[in-house]
Amino acid sequence: MLTLQFVPHSEITDLNSEKKIQKLLKIVREEKIILLEGKLHSNEKSELIRKTMEEIDERFKGIEIEELDAQAKDQAFLQKIRTVFINLLLGSRRGLTIIGPASIIKEIKKDPDKIQLFTEEQKKKKKK
């Protein structure tokens, strides 16, 4: 069964970078695909990838991550300034980030207006 977990921006906004990464990795290790409101800072994204690489083993194959920016490309100049100001005050809530286990996500295709997520059928685990 494929499980998607929505993580609202308010759930991670007060966490420091390390706690955010721990929370996100914990969810992904439970073989869930995260739909994160907003985007991670570039240093958080890099650290998430680095931490993931350290934890790869027989059972955990890594992550796939992609961001969709909700900012319109043809915004007027004043609207762009307003958006930048709001992001500085409230954090980067605009957009969507998808993070999931590489064992489930086959491919993520992105174009400026959408993300397509292709998954693989999970193999049934053997009971002992």
pLDDT digits (tens, 9 = 90+) for 33-75: 999 998 888 899 999 999 999 999 988 999 999 988 766 556 6
Segments in the chain forming alpha helices (H): 9-12, 17-29, 42-55, 77-90
Confidence label for 110 from pLDDT (cuts 50, 70 and 90): confident
pTM over 0.85: no
> Domain-by-domain residue ranges, the chain?
4-119
Summarised one tens digit per residue, pLDDT across range 7-37 is 998 899 889 999 999 999 999 999 999 999 9
User: What torsion do the CA atoms of 37, 42, 48, 51 make, to the nearest 10 degrees?
Assistant: -170
Confidence label for 94 from pLDDT (cuts 50, 70 and 90): confident
